[in-house]
Amino acid sequence: MTSYHDADKKYNMFSGTAAAADKKRTFSISDDIVARNFQATAGSRMLEGYFPVFDSAVVSRMTAENSLIGTTNMDEFGFGMFSVSGTKIPKNPFDPERSCGGSCGGAACAASVLEDHVALGTSAGGSISSPAAFCGVFGLTPTFGRVSRYGQIDTVSSMGPVGIFASKSELLKKYLPVISGKDERDPTSTAQPELKIGKKKLRSVAVPKGVTDGVSDGVRKAFDDSVNMLKSMSVNVEYVDMPILRHAMPAHYILCATEATTNLAGYCGMRCGQRDGDLSLPFNDYFASFRSKYFGAETKLRIIIGTYATMGENRRTMYLRSLGVRKLAINSYNGIFKDHDAVLTPSMPYAAPKIADAVIMSSVDSYMASRFAAPPAFCGLPSVSVPCGYSDGLPVGMQFTACHWNEDVLLDAADLWERSFIVKAPEVSL
């Protein structure tokens, strides 16, 4: 079997690698999860040269029985849906000219091409569902708070749990208990209920009406065929109204931008990140020149949006209103979960675009690509993306979203689906 070093040369999935694996089972982490002896940059030039002196909570738990072989390439600070805004761009194993999805594209690529490999990534807005769909693997995003975020380079404080990529659903079931659990170092993880696997089964799903409007023909066909297959598997499918989803996505980006603005304020050339600016400059000029040099275009845009959304009256009309939309969205989901085990949507509105197209895509078009993947993350809900079809040889995914703390329903859904649907590995699988 070809080594992960050879795989990296072909697909550019890793930002850093270990010399060798000392255990049979391997795993990797996205570049915003820290581990000793591995550089952690979150895909940004701002953090080049940062080598953490401690392990994150998930790394500590995983390395007990597994080898960490590398950190994977991603969008800068997790800002993007195609993994083209970081320092390196990973290549899709089904077509190297195409995007792996974002923000954790390198992680999904590693899970796709390395046998029995588990990749950990983070998701503040579909950053697991998007690359899982584009690379044809399973991607599990737990409930916010299920997994400790200690040791994660934080950009969005109220979203962004650590999740799992794998080519087999059984690996999700095996490793979710490993990385889950309370951690006093992370207050968001201290009040979680016990993780129970195998207690709940997928019996009924709700499909939002009009969910396939505006998606590609290939995604629509794969999704409709999958819905019919679920019906044949005795899963009840009901179409429901969820108008709040139209508002959840823009509100999600407002909250992401405002939280990122605060969390990235420390990267000013004095306290965190690079510190090679001209200290003879006045404060404002120094900070501006330094942040202009080391932040990428998408990160700067998020900071500008976040700053604007919290200025004066904008705080009420944009930021506080977005918090209200989040509450309405959670209530809408909870209303659906009274009668259904999960909400079912496509993971992405189209198959993986070419990297050349993704690089020049407008910010609005990029944001709209996450209209299915962002709402669950916005509400802190768990979700799983599973391969459900192929369009011109490229993978298509669909996403199950469950109620808070109900990861067992998602694991059952992934297992049930895998036993009925033939998941294709890329021909270049290593």
Quick check: 165 and 137 in contact, CB under 8 A? yes
Q: Give the pLDDT score at 269.
A: 84
Q: What is the pLDDT of residues 119-157, one digit of tens each?
A: 999 999 899 999 999 999 999 999 999 999 999 998 999
Task: Report the relative pairing of strands 342-346 and 204-208 from DSSP bridges.
Answer: parallel
Q: What mean pLDDT, rounded, does the chain reach?
A: 95
Burial of 312 (0-12, 13-18, 19+ CB in 10 A): exposed
> Positive or negative, the Cα torsion across 353, 357, 361, 365?
negative
**Element spanning 163, H or E:** strand 162-166
Rounded distance between C-alpha atoms, residue 256 and residue 283, angstroms: 27
Phi, psi dihedral angles at 274 (to 5 degrees): -60, 150
Q: Give the pLDDT score at 1.
A: 43
Q: What is the pLDDT of residues 15-55, one digit of tens each?
A: 999 988 888 899 999 999 999 999 999 999 999 999 999 99
Evaluate if residue 257 carries a pLDDT over 60: yes
Task: Report the relative pairing of strands 162-166 and 118-122 from DSSP bridges.
Answer: antiparallel
Query: CB within 8 A of 230, min separation 6: which ones?
Result: 205, 237, 344
Q: Give the pLDDT score at 139.
A: 98
> Positive or negative, the Cα torsion across 7, 101, 116, 122?
positive
Query: Starting from the edge strand earliest in sequence, which strands make up the sheet with 204-208, in order?
Result: 14-17, 67-72, 26-30, 118-122, 162-166, 138-141, 383-391, 394-401, 342-346, 204-208, 236-240
Q: What is the maximum span of the chain, computed from C-alpha positions, in angstroms? A: 71
332, two tokens: 């809408």
**Helix 169-179 and helix 407-418, axial crossing angle in degrees, nearest 10:** 160
Evaluate if residue 358 carries a pLDDT over 70: yes
What domains does the chain contain, in order, with CATH numbers? Answer: 4-244+325-420 (3.90.1300.10)
Q: Can you tell me whether residue 108 is helix, strand or coil?
A: helix
C-alpha distance across the termini of the chain, in Å:
6
Rounded distance between C-alpha atoms, residue 62 and residue 147, angstroms: 12
Mean pLDDT to the nearest integer, 79-93:
95
Quick check: 165 and 134 in contact, CB under 8 A? no
Quick check: 44 and 295 in contact, CB under 8 A? yes
What amino acid occupies position 178? V
Q: Give the pLDDT score at 428.
A: 57
Rounded distance between C-alpha atoms, residue 49 and residue 199, angstroms: 45
